[in-house]
């Protein structure tokens, strides 16, 4: 049973029920019955009938009717009593009869159309689905049923047409506008994204499947927005939603059709690009990259620079079905994500191995971190004149049982993208606090310890609640802790991050800005920002003795920091000339390979604490 036939059956049952309940005096419709290749017509009349138990039943009357051109008048009473609109057309497509329901629905008097041709009265129907189904009847099909939108009436009609004697047609129809509106609403909910209005993943998969069936050559662009979660945390989820809508608008502007774009998942979009003759995806790739070149201007006039990682896979070069094509494009997107700016990556077979590696890393980050091989090392911070140990920085490391050493840049970024950065940071903090207490007991001294906190966590109240709880649980003096904040983070926009750092400072925890000198463009904001220490970026330190302009900039930075009454530390000190220059400039606390590489806990304690069983370390 087709969907249209099922709707017809339901409509008939509803109409009969209306008669039983007394809402209608009767229900009449025509029923065609095929016998030996010929169509015989019957009228079905439903009338109420009182039952013995004071309830109401329905009696169905069925009798034959004649719809031949010369005999339909005898059944006119039946036709006029029908709730469906009914039209009888002769073999030349001229109107022979309209019942009252048809006159009312199409807003035409029968005297105005009887004898006229259908295409004359409704010229727009000639190249429509109506004409297509008429041809089916003319070629011998007995009956057709279809939905037809009549532009002249701005209405949808549910149409059923049958062949009758003398090559005529019996057509009855009803207003389907309300049903179509409901179907459209349901389709929008099922196949369109509620926020952006774009097709969702189910709709785009249908589009891709259709292209595959047509044998069309095309490319799929898998777009992942960079750091949307960071924007949500830094500003608000409402701001993040507005960014998503702005991105959708811009991408829709370059999509070749409405169905060629989709909001696939939260911060991911898909674009389908069909290849022209002798063309590939390169021109369209440039358009996609350009879409992210300019900032997105929000309703409050705030500008958000949103980058994207874009993966490209093509049919038939890389995949042969929908799922495989999306997987390949997603794999290429993950490769593009290794870049810090908007970039594209085209799928290649070796990416499958990289994807398997990433999946394994994601799984292990969600599992037992100690068993997975994650640990921390320490890099000393040394007074450049006296050689005294003044503190340490904690650095995360991962010696994976299968992959060996994994770069912190790789696994920390994956942890941020997959939402496991908080549990990773909790694990490292507990490991660090445990080591601090053991060191305090063994050496009777206390050492300031710097811990890096990623930007995504700075706006998280649950993270800081747990951080403060762990400080109390392990009995750590807040004065021994230092939080390092990356300078490139646009923390000045986040009132939450600012508040959390102020709370840390109030408890006695020191706040340090890491990599200072290359990312922060609003130096005046530092006057109000809760900062206790500035760590000069290694970029300038490594230019000492090599680039006079860089030295001048470094001198200016050091003088500027001193005016803020902040501690100052130079990172990346590797040579004697760098140490000497920094000491002359008054920057005497250093960190770098000149003094020591990051080292394990045992090696650190043996090198720096072995001969100092008591006292303070700075």
CATH 3.30.450.20-classified regions of the chain: 3-180
Name 66's Cβ contacts closer than 8 Å, sequence gap at least 6.
41, 72, 74, 75
Question: Residues 347, 328: contact at Cβ < 8 Å?
Answer: yes
The sign of the torsion formed by the CA atoms of 301, 304, 305, 309 equals negative
The pair of three-digit structure tokens given for residue 43, joined into one six-digit string: 């009228």
Which residues have a Cβ under 8 Å from the Cβ of 477 and sit 6 or more positions away? 446, 508
For position 23, what pLDDT does the model report? 80
On the question of pLDDT at 145 being above 70, the answer is yes
- Predicted confidence at residue 2, as pLDDT, reads 59
CATH for 192-349 is 3.30.70.270
User: What are 191-203's pLDDT values in tens digits?
Assistant: 889 899 999 988 9
With both helix axes pointing from N to C terminus, report the angle between 461-474 and 495-507 in degrees, rounded to the nearest 10. Answer: 10
pLDDT band at 383 (very low <50, low <70, confident <90, very high): very high
Q: What is the pLDDT of residues 508-548, one digit of tens each?
A: 999 998 888 665 445 655 666 788 999 998 888 999 999 99
pLDDT digits over 196-253, tens only? 999 998 899 999 999 999 999 999 999 999 888 778 877 788 888 999 999 999 999 9
Listed in order, the ranges of the chain carrying CATH 3.20.20.450 are: 359-609
Task: Give CA–CA dist 418/459, Å, rounded.
Answer: 17
* Domain limits, CATH 3.30.70.270, in the chain: 192-349
CB 282 within 8 A of CB 289: no
What is the dotted CATH code of the domain comprising 359-609? 3.20.20.450
Q: At 70, is the pLDDT very low, low, confident or very high (cuts 50, 70, 90)?
A: very low
Cα 313 from Cα 331, distance rounded (Å): 9
* pLDDT for the residue numbered 611: 58
* CATH 3.40.50.300 is the classification of domain 3-180: no
What tens digit of pLDDT does each residue of 276-327 get? Answer: 766 778 889 999 999 999 999 888 878 888 999 999 999 999 988 999 999 9
Distant-in-sequence, close-in-space partners of 283: CB < 8 Å, separation ≥ 6: none
């Amino acid at each position: 049973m087709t969907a249209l036939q099922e709707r017809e059956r339901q409509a008939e049952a509803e109409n009969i029920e209306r008669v039983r309940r007394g809402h209608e005096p009767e229900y009449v419709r025509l029923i065609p019955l095929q016998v030996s290749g010929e169509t015989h017509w019957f009228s079905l009349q439903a009338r109420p009938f009182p039952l013995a138990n004071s309830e109401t039943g329905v009696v169905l009357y069925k009798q034959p009717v004649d719809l031949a051109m010369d005999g339909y008048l005898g059944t006119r009473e039946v036709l006029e009593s029908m709730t469906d609109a009914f039209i009888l057309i002769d073999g030349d497509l001229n109107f022979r009869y309209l019942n009252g329901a048809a006159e009312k629905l199409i807003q035409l008097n029968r005297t105005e159309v009887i004898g006229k041709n259908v295409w004359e009265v409704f010229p727009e129907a000639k190249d429509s689905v109506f004409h297509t189904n008429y041809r089916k009847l003319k070629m011998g099909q007995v009956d057709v049923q279809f939905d037809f939108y009549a532009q002249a009436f701005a209405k949808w009609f549910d149409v059923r047409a049958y062949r009758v004697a003398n090559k005529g047609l019996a057509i009855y129809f009803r207003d389907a506008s309300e049903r179509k509106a409901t179907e459209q609403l349901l389709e929008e909910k099922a196949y369109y994204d509620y926020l952006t209005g774009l097709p969702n993943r189910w709709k785009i998969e249908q589009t891709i499947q259709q292209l595959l069936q047509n044998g069309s050559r095309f490319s799929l662009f898998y777009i992942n927005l960079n750091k949307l979660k960071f924007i949500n945390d830094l500003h608000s989820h409402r701001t993040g939603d507005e960014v998503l809508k702005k991105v959708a608008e811009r991408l829709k502007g370059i999509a070749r059709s409405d169905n060629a774009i989709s909001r696939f998942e939260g911060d991911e979009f898909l674009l389908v690009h069909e290849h022209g003759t002798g063309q590939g995806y390169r021109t369209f790739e440039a358009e996609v990259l350009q879409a992210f070149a300019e900032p997105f201007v929000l309703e409050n006039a705030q500008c958000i620079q949103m980058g994207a990682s874009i993966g490209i896979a093509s049919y038939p070069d890389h995949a042969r079905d929908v799922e495989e094509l999306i997987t390949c494009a997603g794999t290429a997107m993950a490769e593009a994500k290794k870049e810090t700016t908007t970039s594209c990556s085209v799928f290649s077979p070796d990416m499958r191995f990289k994807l398997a590696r990433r999946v394994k890393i994601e799984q292990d980050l969600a599992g037992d971190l100690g068993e997975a091989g994650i640990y921390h090392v320490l890099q000393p911070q040394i007074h450049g004149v006296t050689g005294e140990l003044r503190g340490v920085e904690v650095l995360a490391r991962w010696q994976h049982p299968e992959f060996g050493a994994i770069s912190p840049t790789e696994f920390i970024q994956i942890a941020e993208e997959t939402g496991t950065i908080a549990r990773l940071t909790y694990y490292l903090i507990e490991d660090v606090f445990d080591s601090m207490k053991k060191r305090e007991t063994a050496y009777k001294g206390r050492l300031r310890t710097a811990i890096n906190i990623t930007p995504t966590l700075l706006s998280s109240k649950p993270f800081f609640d747990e951080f403060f709880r762990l400080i109390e649980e392990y009995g750590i003096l807040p004065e021994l802790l230092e939080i390092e904040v990356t300078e490139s983070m646009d923390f000045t926009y986040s009132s939450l991050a600012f508040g959390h750092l102020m709370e840390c400072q109030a408890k006695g925890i020191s706040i340090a800005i890491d990599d200072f000198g290359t990312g922060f463009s609003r130096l005046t904001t530092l006057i109000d920002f809760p900062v206790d220490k500035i760590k000069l970026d290694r970029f300038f330190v490594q230019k000492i003795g090599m680039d006079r302009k860089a030295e001048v900039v470094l001198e200016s930075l050091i003088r500027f920091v001193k005016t803020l009454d902040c501690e100052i530390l130079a990172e990346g000190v590797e040579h004697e000339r760098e140490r000497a220059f920094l000491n002359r400039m008054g920057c005497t606390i250093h960190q770098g390979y000149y003094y020591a590489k990051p080292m394990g806990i045992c090696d650190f304690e043996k090198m720096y604490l072995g001969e100092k069983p008591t006292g303070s370390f700075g």
